[in-house]
Structure 1
């Protein structure tokens, strides 16, 4: 038998071609379930208000149609982000950050004022909120910068201090609108990323102490001179209503009291879907800031607990994906994204239930909102991109292990 025939008779193990990793199926399904549930609850919470208001064209489906539109756009953005390798954002975070900073600088002068905050640009019938873009821009900025600095990030002058200056600048622009709820969320999110990035805990503590003293100073000035700020008295009223909901039941405490009444009316099993009483022009913005109160009233303690379990598992799954990522940039981005969603959800639900003072932030995935829903779903797309990398690495390890086992079992055919 010639050499060619001998080689052709050898059975060599073949290495299957590796494809892109698959996105995390559980996170994808949980996201779609939360968004779908949000659309349903927006309809339930808004239909009565919209049907009797000229501002909404007497259209009971006014809010749900907008929510569906943004959900579809957000789904498309999520699919696009999911198919872009997350390392791409490490190179292009700076243009996004610069655009966001410019928008934040312009919105106090050219934006429209809603509920005392000049936080939106009006583009026809579409409203754009730069603060929502800033949340993901800060996450990408911090993650890329910390990754680039490496061990230098543990140094205060060359590491943490320059980062805090930039973050403080962005937070300051948001407070000028004024939007203290979003500024607080952004500050906590930045703190989580900084801690996860390995900053010196002593430096973090000192920065947190300075920030706390600043907040106490601002609150003290507002308490002594309520007219010193555009809405200082309003913010202090929220704190007072949190401490004593009955001290000004028709003004400062009205929103919180109506929210607590809705939760109490829900009881264990709820009044039933669409049967909320408080949403009938009693509870302000039942489709937005106070949508959780409507959920509690219509679904009761049992239904609300199930909803919160789904939400908690979504956060757990997102955190697991972030921690599994094979590189520090992906881990920091994932922790920042899921941390931002978790903090905002806690602040919204905490305010509605009187766990903390009301801040006026929305409930991610659930509340009616355009920019917020779109950016949140796009952020989940980045998380799914991170999960694809983990699955790809896992698949590669499995393939290598299989190849080694095939080679161990390989036995050449002896020539006759």
Structure 2
């Protein structure tokens, strides 16, 4: 059973996840969108919908549900004169624009289009992929919306004047809805929408301002673990803090007053100071006089806090596995895998797998002063449930 589960896991780990380099692909055009939509519209007009469109009117129009896609039009009954405004594809069997399909990894989407931001530099909430301001003729842009490392949508927009015959600008594009950093729906929208130049200018200005923010990036992922870096000192600067040198006062400055801030006697060693926040806990070791101390541990118990390489509660095992070096060792009969290095010697990474879909991932290295840093993560049903980072 364990071997079978491991085989399934390894198949997931080998899926292509590496982010693309700077892309030379062309920006999305209105002509391209219309040409792609034409085939779906023709199929819809030659078929009967699975629902009664007259009963479902949305902001995009009447909803026509087919087994190949859902279309939105301006009449309650499909005819040769029906104008289609949007198309949504949720089937993996259908080809999306540029052959990006439902089920494809985020990297496939990014690689298919022009991009000036391969590392998705931005904020925890968004990243601008590009802005192409060629006004008054046209403007194009693309943006990622995300919750930390969890990409929610990737949008490519087209504002072209010539496509409207001079009556304003198009307000069309493609919206890829993502789940677990994979496409789960493709929405081509605005096939007949028009907006004024003032609106286009404001959109472009807002995006160019947003593009100046670059304090957060997508962590590199790869199915080839030998191309990834080992857990190292650079990883200890995260979530706005330098963990190795963190003091209780700096934590308060960064995260505000703790829910509780207590001193606990630690036998002959001195004292522990424990700061408890809603999503994490910080522990420091102090001498008996409470005058000298150092950070000892970070325990993350809520998904509002990211650890090294943006690991977070709720992340699945494969996603975290593909952020750290792996592939040097082999799976052992005892349910363990040395991802790199030799256990308890220098820098190493080790995973253990349970029969109940539980797992642990442990990464460790030595600081220059000889202290050992260890990052340990626990998984239930292959979902991260606890994160510990400590310095011995």
The TM-score normalised by the length of structure 1 is 0.22
The TM-score normalised by the length of structure 2 is 0.23
Task: Kindly indicate which of the two structures has a greater share of residues assigned to helix.
Answer: 1
Higher relative contact order (CA 8 A, sep 6+): 1
